[in-house]
Amino acid sequence: RQRQMCIETGISDSCVPYQQSVRVYQALRTRQVPTDLVLVPDAEHGDSRCFSPDIVQQMLLFLNRAIQFNRSA
């Protein structure tokens, strides 16, 4: 059973550079792991912008797809 990943990162994150998340995303996609990458403009690590309505909507879309995927497996 394959797991899915949703990676969310702030572009201005000084703790975990967003490029690191991009590399993880690319590696997972290369291995055909269903993965979403959400890059949050101007957001720092743990920034409240990571929980804006648009970002939360993207996370909910991912979760809905993951639930459907797991039900069909």
Confidence (pLDDT) at 69: 72
3, 7, 34, 38, 58 from 18: Cα distances, Å: 22, 10, 19, 10, 18
Per-residue pLDDT tens digits of the chain, which is 73 residues long: 678 899 999 999 999 999 999 999 999 999 999 999 999 999 999 899 999 999 999 999 999 988 887 677 6
Confidence (pLDDT) at 1: 60
Write out the DSSP string of 16-60: S-HHHHHHHHHHHHHTT--EEEEEETTPPTT-GGGGSHHHHHHHH
